[in-house]
Structure 1
Amino acid sequence: MWQWQTRSELPYLTCDLLTDWQHGFFTRQFAPRKPHELTPILAAHASTYRLKQIHGKIVLTPTEIATTAEVEVETGNALGDGALTETAAQAVWVASADCNPILIANRATGNVAAVHAGWRGTSLQIATVAVERLLAQGGNLTDIIVAIGPAIAGEVYQVTTQVGLEVCASIAPHPLSGDLETDAATLQALPNSPLLTDAQAGRVRLDVRRVNQLQLERLGIPVEQISIAPHCTFQEPEHFFSYRREKLKKIQWSGIVSK
Structure 2
Amino acid sequence: MTIANPDSQKLNKYYEGLSKNDVTWHWQEWQGQPYLTCSLLQNWPHGFFTHHFSPSTPTELVDVLHPSAEVYRVKQVHGNTVLTTGKSTLETEATYAEADGLLTEKAKQAVWVCSADCVPALIADQKTGQVAAIHAGWRGTAAKIIPVALAGFQVHGSQLSDLLVVLGPAIAGEVYQVSEEVAAQVGMTIFPEIGKTSIEDILHFLELLPNSPILSDPEPGKVRLDVRLVNFLQLEQLGISNKQVAIAPYCTYQQPDYFFSYRREKQKKVQWSGIVSG
Normalising TM by the smaller chain, what interval?
over 0.9
Match of 1:252 in 2: 271
> Using a 3 Å threshold, how does the CA distance of structure 1 residues 211 and 44 change in structure 2: closer, same or farther?
same
- In 2, are the aligned partners of 1:169 and 1:175 still within 8 Å (CA)? no
Match of 1:178 in 2: 197
Gapped regions of structure 2 (runs ≥ 5): 1-23
> Using a 3 Å threshold, how does the CA distance of structure 1 residues 255 and 111 change in structure 2: closer, same or farther?
same
Structure 1 runs, 4 residues or longer, greater than 3 Å off: 64-67, 173-178
Match of 1:152 in 2: 171
1:124 aligns with 2:143: yes
**Whole-Å separation in 2 of the counterparts to 1:174 and 1:66:** 36
- In 2, are the aligned partners of 1:102 and 1:149 still within 8 Å (CA)? yes
Gapped regions of structure 1 (runs ≥ 5): 68-73
Match of 2:30 in 1: 7
1:35 aligns with 2:65: no
Match of 1:94 in 2: 113
Look up the SS of the partner of 1:237 in the other structure.
Answer: coil
> Using a 3 Å threshold, how does the CA distance of structure 1 residues 64 and 173 change in structure 2: closer, same or farther?
farther
- Percent of residue pairs bearing the same amino acid type: 54
- In 1, are the aligned partners of 2:89 and 2:96 still within 8 Å (CA)? no
**Whole-Å separation in 2 of the counterparts to 1:60 and 1:198:** 37
- In 2, are the aligned partners of 1:99 and 1:151 still within 8 Å (CA)? yes
Per-residue CA distance 1:210-246 (angstroms, 9 max, x = gap):
0011111111111111000000000000000000000
> Using a 3 Å threshold, how does the CA distance of structure 1 residues 11 and 238 change in structure 2: closer, same or farther?
same
1:56 aligns with 2:75: no
- In 2, are the aligned partners of 1:107 and 1:143 still within 8 Å (CA)? yes
- In 2, are the aligned partners of 1:177 and 1:183 still within 8 Å (CA)? no
> Using a 3 Å threshold, how does the CA distance of structure 1 residues 4 and 200 change in structure 2: closer, same or farther?
same
**Whole-Å separation in 2 of the counterparts to 1:196 and 1:104:** 28
Aligned-pair distance for 1:75?
4.6
Alignment length, in residue pairs?
253
Amino acid at match of 1:220: G
> Using a 3 Å threshold, how does the CA distance of structure 1 residues 66 and 91 change in structure 2: closer, same or farther?
closer
Per-residue CA distance 1:95-118 (angstroms, 9 max, x = gap):
000000000001121000000000
Amino acid at match of 1:108: K
Stretch moving more, 56-65 or 19-28: 56-65
Per-residue CA distance 1:118-162 (angstroms, 9 max, x = gap):
000000000011111112222311100000000000000000000
Amino acid at match of 1:16: S
Q: 1:65 aligns with which of 65, 88, 99?
A: 88
1:228 aligns with 2:251: no
Match of 2:15 in 1: none
Q: TM-score, length-normalised on structure 2?
A: 0.88
1:108 aligns with 2:131: no
Q: TM-score, length-normalised on structure 1?
A: 0.94
Aligned-pair distance for 1:32?
0.3
Q: 1:79 aligns with which of 82, 98, 108?
A: 98
**Whole-Å separation in 2 of the counterparts to 1:180 and 1:167:** 11
Q: 1:44 aligns with which of 43, 49, 67?
A: 67
